[in-house]
Amino acid sequence: MKIFNLLTLKFITFYQRYLTVLSFGSCRYIPTCSHYAQIQFEQNNFFKAFFYSITRILRCNQLFEGGFDYPKIKYDTNKAVFKKIKVKYWLIPTDDGYYLVVKNWKRNINELGK
């Protein structure tokens, strides 16, 4: 199952680098649909990530308002390892037992300056 996620992530990276130039920033959501799919494939199994990504892409049209729509994932905090790490995403708990995944923007800004 991991190989499918890896191949899909490679395709999403290719799409973000080379094909988004053709779409002129037409996504109605923050984060964009491709970034949403990237987070889903990093955090979930292939089928669950594929389902959530496709439903998000289908909602990205004129019939829906758009706005902020961060992915929700199930995370077991008992398996968390506490050590000094570089944070890529922040997990924000919700009332229904899921976590919102929010990108660490400060880390990305620092990477741009290098």
What single letter denotes the amino acid at residue 14? Answer: F
Res 107 pLDDT > 80: no
Grouping H, G, I as helix, E, B as strand and the rest as coil, residue 18 is helix
Per the structure, how many domains does the chain have?
A: 1
Which residues are 101's β-sheet partners? 91
Of 79 and 95, more confident: 95
Residue 108 in this model has a pLDDT that exceeds 70: no
Q: Which residues contact 55 (CB under 8 A, 6 or more apart)?
A: none
Domain extent, residue 92, equals: 2-112
Using CA atoms, how far residue 80 sits from 5, 38, 76, 91, in Å, is 22, 22, 7, 12
pLDDT digits (tens, 9 = 90+) for 39-94: 999 988 999 999 999 999 999 888 888 888 888 877 777 777 777 767 777 788 88
| 2-23 pLDDT, tens digit each | 899 999 999 999 998 888 877 6
Beta bridge partners of 89: 103
